[in-house]
Homo-oligomer: A and B are copies of this chain.
Amino acid sequence: MPSSRPFAKWIEENQDKLVDRLAESVAIPSVSGDASYRPEVHRMGGWLADTLTGLGVSVKSVPLGKQNLDGQEIDLPPVLLGEYGSDPKKKTILVYGHYDVQPALKSDGWNTEPFSLSEDKETGRFYGRGSSDDKGPILGWLNVIEAHTKTNTEMPVNLKMVFEGMEESGSDGLEELVVAESKKFLSNVDAVCISDNYWLGTTSPCITYGLRGLAYFQVSISGPGADLHSGVFGGMVHEPMTDLFAVFSKLVTPSGEILVPGIADKVAPLTAEEKARYEVIDITVADFESAAGGKVTLSDDKATTLMGRMRYPSLSIHGVEGAFSAAGAKTVIPASVRGKFSIRLVPDLTPQDVNELVTKYLNDEFAKLGSKNTFKVEMLSGGMPWVASIDHWNYKAGTKATETVYSKTPDFTREGGSIPITLTFADALGKSVMLLPMGRGDDGAHSINEKLDRSNFIQGSILLGEYLTEVANFAE
């Protein structure tokens, strides 16, 4: 049964006012990836700081210096550090969100103006850029604070807030700030809650406790001094593209099995309890086919499909740089090509391990070819996987809150991709981090027609309040 607490009732009854605030925030086109929009990102930061201050939050706006974008040197948007309550008897929860958004133009194919929140009364959906990613969730926290104030309910925890304006553009400067503040502003944080992802599907709430890491590789093969004509040189020289195809065909089978020796051995074994967790997740293989836009899943079994995404490594070949890549027919022998692939990591695979295994294996495979070309393997970037314990009180609180608001146990999910800030908080603070989403899997965060369902905004705000309330109950 839904929450009957006074703050929840206030949110239900005042929802139109809360939606107006969401509309106000969506109306500021705070696109961080385009220099010409940068003043709007700063305006959004100012609007958010003022709104927080108006609710009694003490806010510090931390400048992050300058960046070079589109050939201009411009100011990075500030990080807002908010503090609400400092009762030493209460737990302190750090919440994170970002007030910048993805680019959006009506002409991209939006049905409505992207920077004007518009409601479809029939479906109860609010369309607008940032509605779900991530202005709705940020305002969820504000709704909880306001509801407690208006109903004279004491906040169950102390809140610390980190709201950044560069998430969609690489979170420039954030990691350094978090590390620097970990022994200062963030030193007394007991747990972290991030609301910046989505339900897996459209009907069941979830809590996310894991993310895959990444090891991104570039393999460079070169030989001739310049691109050659295949009429003149075909049949005379070792061709880098032939070598690349020979080597990359040894990376992964068409059914997804990674062929690099040693990788499978390092994957933490699957427990029965863990397997059961995937079997109950409310999703079907057909849902994934529909998300992929084709009947191309590797397995017809739901749990296997879910684990392929969430708890096993995967290897994808992304492309080739330096070869012919346009339409048509060009008879070139590319002189120097760079093949790109990446491996998604899960415990206990570290980028360092994988780099060693991949480099040795590919060098050995190349040596077998007997080619006179030169060969180089590099790891361009590496990020650790992350998995949290769902037995921590932070997760117990999130679970209980979800059961209260949605009358069902949340799906416990892991994301296949990475959300770097999660790892930053987990590493810098050494505390439990939980991802507690507000929106649904079909919100279209980075697509046209991004939306947030009214029920997700309202019940999602109540969920955040319930979570804070349960923290006070579960915390040890």
Complex Cα–Cα for A467 and B238 (A):
39
- Min CB gap A78→B, angstroms: 28
Within the complex, the shortest CB–CB distance from A437 to chain B, in Å, comes to 14
B331 lies within 8 A of A245 (CB): no
Residues 444-470 of A, flagged 1 when their CB comes within 8 A of B and 0 if not, give: 000000000000000000000000000
Interface set, chain A 289-339, CB cutoff 8 A to B: 291-298, 305, 308-309, 312-321, 323-327, 329-335
- A182 located at the interface, meaning its Cβ lies under 8 Å from any Cβ of chain B in the complex: no
Interface residues of A in 206-241 (CB under 8 A from B): 212, 214, 216, 218, 222-226, 228-239, 241
Checking B292, B293, B325 against A319 with a beta-carbon cut-off of 8 angstroms, the contacting residue is B325
Contact A223 B308 (CB under 8 A): no
B330, A292: Cβ atoms closer than 8 Å:
no
Are A296 and B417 in touch, CB under 8 angstroms? no
- A330 and B318: CB pair below 8 A? yes
A340 at the interface (CB under 8 A from B): yes
Evaluate contact between B305 and A236: CB separation under 8 angstroms. yes
Residue A249, interface by CB 8 Å = yes
Identify the closest chain B residue to A446 (Cβ): B229
Which of A141-149, A350-358, A368-376, A426-434 participates in binding chain B? A368-376
Q: Which residues of B contact A288 (CB under 8 A)?
A: 236-237
Give the contact stretch, choosing among A18-26, A185-193, A252-260, A403-411.
Answer: A252-260
Judging by beta carbons under 8 Å apart, are A329 and B323 in contact?
Answer: no
Interface centre among A308, A326, A331 (most CB of B within 10 A): A331
A264 to chain B, nearest CB (A): 13
Residue-wise interface mask of A (241-272) relative to B, using a CB-CB cutoff of 8 A (1 in contact, 0 not): 11101101101111110000000000000000
Nearest chain B CB to A350 CB, angstrom units: 17
Mask for A370-412, Cβ within 8 A of B = 1, else 0?
1111000000110000000000000000000000000000000
- A332 CB, nearest partner CB in chain B, Å: 6
Cα separation A230 to B340 with both chains bound (whole Å): 13
- State in angstroms the CA–CA spacing of A327 and B326 once bound together: 15
Indicate if the CB atoms of B416 and A318 lie closer than 8 Å: no
Residues of B within 8 Å of A330, CB to CB, are 318-319, 340
A58 at the interface (CB under 8 A from B): no
A344 at the interface (CB under 8 A from B): yes
How many Å lie between the Cα of A214 and that of B232 in the bound state? Answer: 12
Contact of A369 among B254, B309, B373 (CB under 8 A): B254
**A: number of interface residues (CB 8 Å):** 82
Report Cα–Cα, A241/B216, bound state, in Å. 16
Choice from B241, B248, B254, B370 contacting A316 with Cβ under 8 Å: B241
| Cβ–Cβ < 8 Å partners of A255 in chain B | 238, 370
Instruction: Tell me the chain A residues, 135-180 only, with Cβ under 8 Å from chain B.
Output: none
In the complex, whether A284 has a CB less than 8 A from a CB of chain B is no
A83 CB within 8 Å of chain B: no
Cβ-based interface call for A342 (8 A): yes
Q: Are B340 and A231 in contact (CB under 8 A)?
A: no
Is there a chain B Cβ closer than 8 Å to A15's Cβ? no
**Across-interface contacts of A212 in B (CB, < 8 A):** 231
CB A341 to nearest CB in B, in angstroms, measures 9
Contacts of A100 in B (CB 8 A): none
A196, CB-defined interface residue at 8 Å: no
Report if A116 contacts B (CB, 8 A).
no
- Asked whether A324 lies within 8 Å of B340 as measured between CB atoms, the reply is yes
Q: A241-B319, A245-B249, A294-B225 are in contact. Are A417 and B344 (CB under 8 A)?
A: no
A-B contacts, 23 of them at CB < 8 A, read A222-B294, A230-B316, A230-B417, A232-B417, A233-B292, A235-B312, A236-B305, A236-B308, A236-B309, A236-B314, A237-B297, A237-B298, A238-B254, A238-B296, A239-B316, A245-B245, A246-B253, A294-B372, A318-B324, A318-B333, A319-B323, A319-B325, A323-B325
Which residues of A pack against B, CB within 8 Å?
212, 214, 216, 218, 222-226, 228-239, 241-243, 245-246, 248-249, 251-256, 288, 291-298, 305, 308-309, 312-321, 323-327, 329-335, 340, 342, 344, 369-373, 380-381, 415-418
* Given A235-B314, A317-B323, A320-B320, 6 more pairs with CB closer than 8 A: A224-B292, A224-B296, A235-B312, A296-B373, A319-B323, A319-B325
